[in-house]
């Protein structure tokens, strides 16, 4: 076990992948000499050379579009989109090309492309630097979407994503990049939890609280705070957003009878809606209350002085937990 | 996969191909009217375009350059003191911004990137308004229609399409104003910029593409973006181009006037490459020592856009004690205004989060706003709620 930051853990996982497979190739803006604006790729170009760790021109559509060609040629490109808000120029290549190529070619052409995206808010950035675009991609068939929440997962899941023959959108919560945690770099990948599996972080009996990426820490803190008030929360880190591991969530909700889902992305058409609907279908007779969503608002990501209102915090999550439990909450007395 | 990092050469016209020289200011068509030593040199083709710039105007340009640098220094300091979230310094690029902006008519419309704060100043945007966005207090600092300048664009190159569309509108309206768009050298790699040039050329609309080649896109040198001089890219789209010493305020003004004149008279788009240098970091979050050679900075410091005008004024006997004092007072006053305006900016209200998403009621959002208002009210003190929420 080694203590390292989230950013370092991804760096270490990337390094391992570059060592293990000569077909792995990293591309992105500023990832070489600078080591990425978050230093996630720090030192990799120095050690693996400019042909394996490639500083690209400023062209997101080209970064992803050329990865398609490299994948055709048998490479496993790992591309970095510098910030969440800059993925849209590449959107067409991702949803029309990357996602559909395997289907289109009747399974003959594989697209083992990993698209790394620092995402989410809470770092006081200007416009386009704090987005949560995951729902666009979970809505697109052919893509796998994951969001990591801690250094150990970051280390293993980046390697799993790179080894996966399907394209993977790999969301990294940028406000957690400097958080430290234990990482077992010796962990044998086949022994690690599969990438498409959710994990139960704290066991509980009253409410199931589902989170992913940056809000996993907040959700755990909420569970700790709730425990002081005698409320037992089971926290689930979704990890995979497409597909969602419903078996794990379902099992928990059958036990607790109550579900709260939280994410930074806006509510409407978000992943919370999908989880609420699917769990309602699967567990209708086990639910004691309607699933509750605690999310960002349906607004463009706000300027930094008010972003803390948009982001679900511990208290807003607990207010949602109270709603699920039918206890006094901010919406008491309101219908629906 | 590799990029030939020996520099840009290949099809470049003029200067020897292959060297990096062409990006350091001595390349083909590099229009210059004032040397780095402050000598006014004649240029038969471009002199006529600045013949109205007499002593008084020159002093006024010097004032702009100095004040803009002072705004930049002050804003950088405010960021270091935690008063601004971020700041993109324009140190070294003052002449490119002032020379072009002062060439425009007030009804010409600008679509810029985040770095053109000097252009905004020249358009009459108040210094405090320039800071609003960087402080995180608002999503835009000014009303685009009062100064005919769109709010700054962060998505690299997106604004070039907006300018081209605006110019299509000008053309349809039969007006003689011009749309001007500013972007960096890195931006020329983006699809948007290339698509903007396709439209601009196809429809021959009155738009000026003003590319500030400051040599770096964060850590990436310009040679990674292009193997020809940036100005030459325009030729492939059928767009006439000019390559100008971007640290020479007069030359930039002359070149911009040529482009504007062409646009106003139905001559269509022009691409200007202003060869300049970003002397500071990309933003206050950047560390240029990780990727940039200190000698390079030194070379460019010798071509400082302000020093050369100062030297020219000195040669002409205009750089008097009285003038210096006037400039100092003006810069001090703007700096004071900037600092007071920044610190005194009112804090936004929690429910401002919901403002301006739509221009008419939206039932989804109204419900969310109502619920959040109830949530805030459930705390005795709303300020306490705010301090407890989010970001942890
Ligand atoms: C579409 C997009 N991709 C990436 C970024 C991140 N980014 C911000 S500025 C920058 C470099 C821009 O360089 P250049 O166009 O030369 O302009 P300069 O900042 O040097 O003025 C990058 C990569 C962005 N803002 N937008």
Tokens representing residue A178 in the block: 């400097």
Could you report the per-residue pLDDT of A96-116, keeping only the tens digit for each?
Answer: 999 999 999 999 999 999 999
Could you report the per-residue pLDDT of B165-176, keeping only the tens digit for each?
Answer: 999 999 999 999
Tokens representing residue A206 in the block: 């009253």
| B385 contacts in chain A (CB < 8 Å) | 315
Q: Are B139 and A127 a contacting pair at CB < 8 A?
A: yes
Which residues of chain A form beta strands (DSSP E)?
2-5, 24-28, 53-55, 76-80, 114-119, 144-147, 168-173, 180-183, 199-202, 207-211, 233-237, 240-242, 259-266, 292-296
Residue A313's closest chain B neighbor by CA?
B390
Residue A219's closest chain B neighbor by CA?
B392
pLDDT at A336: 52
Q: Is B132 in the pocket of ligand 1 (CB under 6 A)?
A: no
Ligand 1 atom closest to the Cα of residue B158 is 1
Q: What is the mean pLDDT of residues A225-241?
A: 98
**What's the count of helices (H) and strands (E) in chain A, helices before strands?**
12, 14
3-state secondary structure B38-72: CCECCCCCCHHHHCCCCHHHHHHHHHHHHHHHHHH
Torsion on CA atoms A270, A272, A277, A281, rounded to nearest 10: 140
Q: Is the pLDDT of residue B17 over 50?
A: no
How many angstroms separate the CA atoms of B174 and B172, rounded?
A: 5
**What's the count of helices (H) and strands (E) in chain B, helices before strands?**
15, 8
How many angstroms separate the CA atoms of B66 and B46, rounded?
A: 25
Query: From the CA of B217, how far away is ligand 1's center (Å)?
Result: 6
Which residue, chain included where needed, has tokens 């890195």?
Answer: B186
Mean pLDDT estimate for chain A: 97
Interface confidence (ipTM) of the complex: 0.94
pLDDT over 70, % of chain B: 90
Q: Is the pLDDT of residue A84 over 90?
A: yes
Is this structure's pTM higher than 0.90?
Answer: yes
Nearest CA to ligand 1 atom 4: A86
Cα dist. B41→B2, B33, B35, B37, B256 in Å? Answer: 41, 5, 7, 11, 18
Question: A131 — contact with chain B (CB < 8 Å)?
Answer: no
pLDDT over 70, % of chain A: 100
- Residue B326's SS3 state is helix
| B353 contacts in chain A (CB < 8 Å) | 297, 299, 302, 306, 309-310
- Determine the Cα angle at B100 with ends B192 and B212, to 5°: 45
Lowest mean pLDDT among A118-122, B6-10, B205-209, B379-383: B6-10
Where do the H-state alpha helices sit in B281-362?
294-301, 305-315, 321-343
Could you report the per-residue pLDDT of B265-309, keeping only the tens digit for each?
Answer: 999 999 999 999 999 999 999 999 999 999 999 999 999 999 999
Instruction: Tell the burial category of B296 from Cβ atoms under 10 Å away from its Cβ (0-12, 13-18, 19+).
Output: middle
Q: Is the pLDDT of residue A19 over 60?
A: yes
| B286 contacts in chain A (CB < 8 Å) | 37
Q: Is the peptide bond before B211 cis (omega within 30 degrees of 0)?
A: no
Whether residue B155 contacts residue A127, with contact meaning beta carbons closer than 8 Å, is answered with no
Mean pLDDT estimate for chain B: 92
For A140-154, give the DSSP string: STT-EEEE--SHHHH
Query: From the CA of A253, how far away is ligand 1's center (Å)?
Result: 45
Tokens representing residue A31 in the block: 């990832």
For B196-252, give the DSSP string: HHHHHHHHT-SEEEEEEE-SEETTEEHHHH-SS-HHHHHHHTT--EEEEETT-HHHH
Ligand 1 atom closest to the Cα of residue A88 is 1
- The β-bridge partners of A295 are A263
| B138 contacts in chain A (CB < 8 Å) | 303
In total, the C-beta contacts within 8 angstroms joining chain A to chain B are 167
Ligand 1 atom closest to the Cα of residue B225 is 16
Q: What is the mean pLDDT of residues A40-58?
A: 98
Question: B156 — contact with chain A (CB < 8 Å)?
Answer: yes
Cα dist. A30→A40, A121, B41, B176, B287 in Å? Answer: 11, 21, 40, 41, 12
Residues 6+ apart with CB under 8 A from A311: A121, A122, A264, A296, B389, B390, B391
Q: Is the pLDDT of residue A55 over 80?
A: yes
Tally of CB atoms within 10 A around B318 = 15
Q: Is residue B380 very low, low, confident or very high in pLDDT (cuts 50, 70, 90)?
A: confident
- Helices B127-135 and B55-80 cross at an angle (nearest 10°) of 30
Question: A196 — contact with chain B (CB < 8 Å)?
Answer: no
How many angstroms separate the CA atoms of A105 and A100, rounded?
A: 9
- The β-bridge partners of B69 are none
How many angstroms separate the CA atoms of A117 and A108, rounded?
A: 27
How many angstroms separate the CA atoms of A46 and B275, rounded?
A: 30
- Residue A80's SS3 state is strand
Q: Is B186 in the pocket of ligand 1 (CB under 6 A)?
A: yes
Q: Is the pLDDT of residue A240 over 70?
A: yes
> A57, A82, A93: which to mutate for ligand 1, most atoms within 8 A of CB?
A82
pLDDT at B14: 30
Q: What pairing do the DSSP bridges indicate for beta strands A180-183 and A2-5?
A: antiparallel
Tokens representing residue B280 in the block: 């500071």
Sheet holding A292-296, edge to edge: A199-202, A233-237, A207-211, A259-266, A292-296
Of residues B266, B43, B89, the one with CA closest to residue B170: B266
- Determine the Cα angle at B243 with ends B175 and B170, to 5°: 10
Query: From the CA of B183, how far away is ligand 1's center (Å)?
Result: 9
Question: B373 — contact with chain A (CB < 8 Å)?
Answer: no
Ligand 1 atom closest to the Cα of residue B214 is 20
| A125 contacts in chain B (CB < 8 Å) | 85-86
Q: What is the mean pLDDT of residues B237-252?
A: 98
Query: From the CA of A47, how far away is ligand 1's center (Å)?
Result: 26
**Residues 261-300 of chain B whose Cβ lies under 8 A from any Cβ of chain A:** 285-286, 290-291
Could you report the per-residue pLDDT of A279-329, keeping only the tens digit for each?
Answer: 999 999 999 999 999 999 999 999 999 999 999 999 999 999 999 999 999
How many angstroms separate the CA atoms of B298 and A239, rounded?
A: 49
Active site residues of B: 278, 282, 291
Residue B83's closest chain A neighbor by CA?
A305
Q: Is the pLDDT of residue B25 over 90?
A: no
Q: Is B16 in the pocket of ligand 1 (CB under 6 A)?
A: no
Could you report the per-residue pLDDT of B109-158, keeping only the tens digit for each?
Answer: 999 999 999 999 999 999 999 999 999 999 999 999 999 999 999 999 99
Could you report the per-residue pLDDT of B43-64, keeping only the tens digit for each?
Answer: 999 999 999 999 999 999 999 9
How many angstroms separate the CA atoms of B215 and B276, rounded?
A: 7
- Out of A32, A221, A310, the one facing B353 most closely (by C-beta) is A310
Nearest CA to ligand 1 atom 18: B184
């Amino acid at each position: 076990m080694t203590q390292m930051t989230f950013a370092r853990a991804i760096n270490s996982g990337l390094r391992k992948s570059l060592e293990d497979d000569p077909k792995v190739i990293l591309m992105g803006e500023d990832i070489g000499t600078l080591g990425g604006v978050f230093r996630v790729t720090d030192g990799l170009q120095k050690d693996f050379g400019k042909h394996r760790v490639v500083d690209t021109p400023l062209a997101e559509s080209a970064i992803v579009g050329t990865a398609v060609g490299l994948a055709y040629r048998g490479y496993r490109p790992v591309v970095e989109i510098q910030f969440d808000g800059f993925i849209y120029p590449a959107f067409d290549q991702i949803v029309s090309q990357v996602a559909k190529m395997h289907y289109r070619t009747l399974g003959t052409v594989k697209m083992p492309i990993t698209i790394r995206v620092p995402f989410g808010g809470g770092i006081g950035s200007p416009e386009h630097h704090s987005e949560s675009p995951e729902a666009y991609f979970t809505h697109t068939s052919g893509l796998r979407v994951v969001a990591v929440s801690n250094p150990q997962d970051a280390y293993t899941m980046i390697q799993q994503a790179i080894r996966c023959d399907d394209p993977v959108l790999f969301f990294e919560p940028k406000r957690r990049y400097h958080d430290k945690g234990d990482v077992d770099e010796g962990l044998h990948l086949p022994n690690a939890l599969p990438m498409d599996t959710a994990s139960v972080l704290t066991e509980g009996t009253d409410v199931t609280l589902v989170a992913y990426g940056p809000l996993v820490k907040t959700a755990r803190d909420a569970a700790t705070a709730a425990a002081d008030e005698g409320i037992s929360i089971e926290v689930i880190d979704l990890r995979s957003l497409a597909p969602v591991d419903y078996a794990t969530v379902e099992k928990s909700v059958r036990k607790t009878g109550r579900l709260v889902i939280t994410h930074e992305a806006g509510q409407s058409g978000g992943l919370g809606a999908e989880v609420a609907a699917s769990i309602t279908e699967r567990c209708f007779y086990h639910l004691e209350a309607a699933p509750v969503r605690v999310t960002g608002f349906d607004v463009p990501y706000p300027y930094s002085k008010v972003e803390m209102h948009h982001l679900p915090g511990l208290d807003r999550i607990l207010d949602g937990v109270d709603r699920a439990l039918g206890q006094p909450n901010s919406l008491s007395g309101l219908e629906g | 996969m590799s990029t030939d990092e020996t520099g840009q050469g290949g099809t470049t016209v003029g200067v020897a191909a292959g060297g990096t020289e062409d990006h350091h200011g001595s390349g083909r068509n590099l229009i210059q009217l004032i040397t780095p030593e402050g000598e006014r040199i004649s240029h038969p083709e471009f002199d006529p375009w600045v013949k109205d710039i007499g002593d008084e105007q020159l002093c006024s340009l010097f004032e702009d350059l100095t004040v803009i640098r002072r705004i930049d220094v002050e804003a950088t300091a405010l960021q270091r003191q935690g008063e601004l979230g971020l700041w993109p310094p324009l140190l070294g690029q003052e002449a490119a911004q002032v020379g072009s902006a002062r060439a425009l008519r007030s009804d010409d419309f600008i679509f810029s990137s985040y770095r053109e704060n000097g252009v905004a100043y020249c358009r009459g945007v108040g210094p405090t308004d320039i800071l609003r966005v960087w402080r995180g207090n608002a999503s835009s600092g000014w009303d685009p229609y009062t100064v005919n300048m769109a709010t700054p664009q962060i998505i690299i190159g997106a604004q070039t399409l907006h300018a081209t569309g605006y110019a299509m509108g000008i053309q349809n309206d039969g007006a003689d104003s011009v749309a001007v768009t500013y972007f960096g050298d890195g931006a020329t790699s983006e699809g948007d910029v290339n698509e903007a040039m396709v439209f601009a050329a196809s429809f021959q609309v009155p738009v000026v593409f003003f590319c500030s080649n400051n040599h770096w896109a964060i850590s990436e040198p310009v040679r990674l973006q292009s193997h020809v001089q940036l100005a030459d890219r325009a030729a492939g789209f059928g767009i006439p181009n000019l390559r100008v010493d971007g640290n020479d305020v007069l030359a930039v003004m002359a070149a911009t006037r040529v482009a504007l004149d062409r646009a106003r008279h139905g001559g269509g788009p022009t691409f200007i490459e202003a060869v300049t240098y970003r002397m500071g970091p990309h933003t206050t979050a950047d560390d240029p020592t990780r990727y940039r050679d200190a000698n390079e900075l030194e070379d460019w410091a010798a071509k400082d856009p302000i020093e050369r005008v100062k030297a020219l004024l000195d040669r002409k006997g205009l750089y008097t004690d009285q003038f210096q004092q006037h400039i100092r007072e003006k810069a001090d006053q703007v700096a004071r205004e900037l600092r007071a305006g920044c610190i005194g900016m009112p804090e936004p209200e929690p429910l401002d989060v919901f403002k301006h998403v739509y221009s008419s009621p939206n039932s989804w959002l109204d419900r969310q706003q109502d619920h959040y208002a109830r949530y805030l009210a459930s705390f005795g003190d709303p300020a306490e709620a705010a301090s407890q929420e989010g970001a942890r």
